[in-house]
């Protein structure tokens, strides 16, 4: 007799199934506009929930600490090869459990405790792991930051000036809430001027870079990290890439045994599936449409008198500034959610409100583009966002807009079905 049930989840655990079903309904009946989210293909999800969830494979392909790793080796090697093909690099580590783990491993590999790094300030669009004081990156290392100028664009002259002053061992470029193209060549010039290693964190823009819709960090960055679940549309996870064999070796050791144990092979299998999707000719069209849709959002909101940090977008997101308005990013995001639109509150440069309230909302186009929405739908949605932001306390209006948007979503059914 087996000591496990062979029932499907729907009968094996009705409580968990019920929660999943409700989350499915939420995802299928709200406009998903969080800039760091996306909808994976069913194939990616199938691999994430696959047989590899049972397997331990500490180590790397052909160098494992467990038996029975033949297929673990095959799937990890495939993911590595596909990732290297996408970004045109020589070495990749597909084991990081997340983007934060990926960045942590780079620091662990290349910095000693107390040595310095220079990254984009969290409030100006950077990420926690780029040196924020509340993160390991700001606690374990001597972290300095740069930001954007009054026009909301990265001020490369300021980056150079700070870099020359603080002489970081690692210069981090890449952002979580920055709507403009990042000039990796300029960052490399700055890194070279102070003898720093350049780390490019492309978590947000990886799917665009993969389609040549954003400048590539290669050959400029010494090491590149990313998540796999944002514009890259894979399972939740991280990756690290480089063309430098010595750095690759240090990073492999930093991931395992440095900061992680067994890799999540089911996630690595799903990464391989997602990378396969990125390598198809359709990917270019997707990435182009993601950018076009974000541009429409920016154009409509600007026409309607809203302020966008940097005045527009070159990528998959916009950052609406609510500085000077009598409502916060928190209130705006709640009002939008009530209207059926999911976004996140976000600090803006020189924010006057706390990180819990913020004076901004970040809005992205990647997930709705996956559902097949184009300029026409984004124009319509942008106007509805404008309506909500003009009347943040008008709950009757929000309910009305939600009904209309749920009807719009009927034409773009998530996974083409009505149940999980
Ligand atoms: N939290 C992610 C984002 O939303 O951009 C970054 O890690």
Question: Which among 175, 203, 361, 363 is the best mutation to test ligand 1's pocket, defined by most ligand atoms within 8 Å of the CB?
Answer: 203
Q: 4 C-alpha to center of ligand 1: Å? A: 37
Indicate which residue's Cα is closest to atom 2 of ligand 1: 36
Residues 232 and 113 in one domain: yes
Is residue 99 within 8 Å of 238, Cβ to Cβ? yes
From CA 345, how far away is CA 355, in angstroms rounded?
A: 9
Mention every residue, 6+ apart, whose C-beta is less than 8 A from residue 41: 233, 273, 274, 277
Known catalytic membership, residue 5: no
Residue 211 lies in a domain: yes
Residues 314 and 345 in one domain: yes
Residues 108 and 146 in one domain: yes
- pLDDT for the residue 5: 87
Residues 261 and 342 in one domain: no
Residue 17 lies in a domain: no
Distances (CA, A) of 66 to 57, 58, 167, 254, 259: 6, 7, 43, 19, 18
Residue 378 lies in a domain: yes
Catalytic residue of the set 13, 29, 56, 186: 56
Residue 364 lies in a domain: yes
- pLDDT for the residue 419: 60
Residue 86 sits in a domain whose CATH number is 3.40.640.10
Known catalytic membership, residue 139: no
Ligand 1 atom closest to Cα of residue 98: 7
From CA 304, how far away is CA 29, in angstroms rounded?
A: 26
Question: Which among 99, 103, 176, 345 is the best mutation to test ligand 1's pocket, defined by most ligand atoms within 8 Å of the CB?
Answer: 176
Cβ count within 10 A of residue 282? 10
Domain residue limits at 353: 27-35+283-416
Residues 401 and 342 in one domain: yes
Catalytic residue of the set 64, 82, 180, 230: 230
Ligand 1 atom closest to Cα of residue 344: 4
- pLDDT for the residue 206: 98
User: Of the residues 228, 254, 278, which one is the last residue of a structural domain?
Assistant: 278
Residue 41 lies in a domain: no
Residues 270 and 321 in one domain: no
Indicate which residue's Cα is closest to atom 1 of ligand 1: 36
Q: 177 C-alpha to center of ligand 1: Å? A: 8
Residue 297 lies in a domain: yes
Pocket of ligand 1 (CB under 6 A): 36, 99, 127, 176
Q: 203 C-alpha to center of ligand 1: Å? A: 8
Q: What share of the chain is helix, strand, coil (3-state, %, to 5)?
A: 50, 15, 40
Residues 302 and 169 in one domain: no
Ligand 1 atom closest to Cα of residue 128: 7
Known catalytic membership, residue 58: yes
Distances (CA, A) of 226 to 32, 85, 95, 106, 204: 21, 15, 12, 12, 8
User: Quick one: DSSP state of residue 383?
Assistant: H
User: Of the residues 278, 304, 327, which one is the last residue of a structural domain?
Assistant: 278
- pLDDT for the residue 418: 60
Residues 235 and 332 in one domain: no
Mention every residue, 6+ apart, whose C-beta is less than 8 A from residue 66: 56, 57, 58, 59
Known catalytic membership, residue 227: yes
Residues 305 and 261 in one domain: no
Residue with tokens 């020189």: 350
- pLDDT for the residue 374: 98
Residues 235 and 296 in one domain: no
The structural domain count of the chain equals 2
Residues in the chain: 420
Known catalytic membership, residue 26: no
Known catalytic membership, residue 351: no
Q: 191 C-alpha to center of ligand 1: Å? A: 25
Question: Which among 36, 227, 228, 317 is the best mutation to test ligand 1's pocket, defined by most ligand atoms within 8 Å of the CB?
Answer: 36
Q: 176 C-alpha to center of ligand 1: Å? A: 6
The structure tokens listed for 9 are 């989840």
From CA 139, how far away is CA 135, in angstroms rounded?
A: 6
DSSP string, 38-98: ----HHHHHHHTSGGGG----EETTEESSS--HHHHHHHHHHHHHHHHHHT-SEEE---SS
User: Quick one: DSSP state of residue 154?
Assistant: B
- pLDDT for the residue 420: 57
DSSP string, 242-255: ES-HHHHHHHHHII
- pLDDT for the residue 288: 98
Residue 350 sits in a domain whose CATH number is 3.90.1150.10
DSSP string, 178-218: --S---HHHHHHHHHHHTPEEEEE-TTTHHHHHTTSS---T
Cβ count within 10 A of residue 65? 13
Burial (CB < 10 A; 0-12, 13-18, 19+), residue 223, is: buried
Per-block mean pLDDT, blocks of 10 residues, the chain (420 long) = 88 97 94 98 97 98 98 98 98 98 98 96 96 97 97 97 98 98 98 98 98 98 98 98 98 98 98 98 98 98 98 98 97 98 97 97 98 98 98 98 95 76
Q: 36 C-alpha to center of ligand 1: Å? A: 6
Mention every residue, 6+ apart, whose C-beta is less than 8 A from residue 397: 339, 387, 388, 391
Residue 255 lies in a domain: yes
Residues 288 and 255 in one domain: no
User: Of the residues 242, 261, 278, which one is the last residue of a structural domain?
Assistant: 278
From CA 211, how far away is CA 192, in angstroms rounded?
A: 28
Residues 90 and 180 in one domain: yes
Burial (CB < 10 A; 0-12, 13-18, 19+), residue 165, is: exposed
Residue 2 lies in a domain: no
Catalytic residue of the set 13, 37, 58, 244: 58
Catalytic residue of the set 32, 76, 121, 201: 201
Q: 66 C-alpha to center of ligand 1: Å? A: 34
Q: 368 C-alpha to center of ligand 1: Å? A: 18
Model pTM score = 0.97
């Amino acid at each position: 007799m087996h000591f496990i049930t062979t029932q499907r989840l729907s009968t094996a655990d009705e409580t968990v199934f019920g929660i999943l079903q409700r989350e499915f309904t939420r995802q299928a009946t709200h406009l998903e506009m969080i800039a760091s989210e996306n909808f994976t293909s069913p194939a990616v999800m199938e691999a994430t929930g696959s047989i590899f969830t049972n397997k331990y494979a500490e180590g790397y392909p052909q160098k494992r600490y467990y038996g029975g790793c033949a297929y673990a080796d095959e799937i990890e090697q495939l993911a590595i090869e596909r990732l290297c093909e996408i970004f045109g690099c020589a070495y990749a580590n597909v084991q990081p459990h997340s983007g934060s783990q990926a960045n942590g491993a780079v620091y662990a590999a290349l910095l000693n405790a107390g040595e310095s790094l220079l990254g984009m300030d969290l409030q100006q669009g950077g990420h926690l792991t780029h040196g924020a004081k509340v993160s390991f990156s700001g606690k374990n290392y001597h972290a300095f930051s740069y930001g954007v100028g009054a026009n909301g664009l990265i001020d490369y002259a300021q980056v150079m000036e700070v870099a020359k002053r603080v002489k970081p061992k690692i210069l981090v470029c890449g952002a979580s809430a920055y709507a403009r193209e990042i000039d990796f060549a300029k960052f490399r010039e700055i890194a070279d001027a102070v003898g720093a290693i350049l780390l490019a964190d492309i978590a947000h823009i990886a799917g665009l870079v993969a389609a040549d819709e954003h400048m590539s960090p290669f050959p400029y960055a010494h090491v590149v990290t990313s998540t796999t679940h944002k514009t890259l549309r894979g399972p939740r996870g991280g990756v690290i890439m480089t063309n430098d064999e010595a750095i690759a070796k240090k990073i492999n050791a930093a991931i395992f045994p440095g900061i992680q144990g067994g890799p999540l092979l089911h996630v690595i299998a799903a990464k391989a599936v997602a990378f396969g999707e990125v390598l198809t000719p359709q990917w270019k069209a997707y990435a182009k449409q993601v950018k076009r849709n974000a541009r429409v959002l920016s154009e409509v909101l600007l026409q309607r008198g809203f302020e966008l940090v940097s005045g527009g977008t070159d990528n998959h997101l916009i950052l609406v500034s609510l500085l000077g308005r009598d409502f916060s990013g928190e209130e705006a995001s709640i009002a939008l959610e009530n209207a059926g639109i999911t976004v996140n509150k976000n600090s803006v440069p020189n924010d006057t409100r706390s990180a819990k309230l913020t004076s901004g909302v970040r809005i992205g186009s990647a997930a709705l583009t996956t559902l097949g929405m184009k300029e026409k739908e984004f124009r319509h949605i942008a106007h509805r966002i404008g309506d909500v932001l003009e009347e943040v306390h008008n709950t009757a209006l929000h309910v009305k807009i939600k009904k209309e948007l749920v009807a719009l979503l009927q034409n773009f059914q998530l996974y083409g079905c009505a149940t999980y």
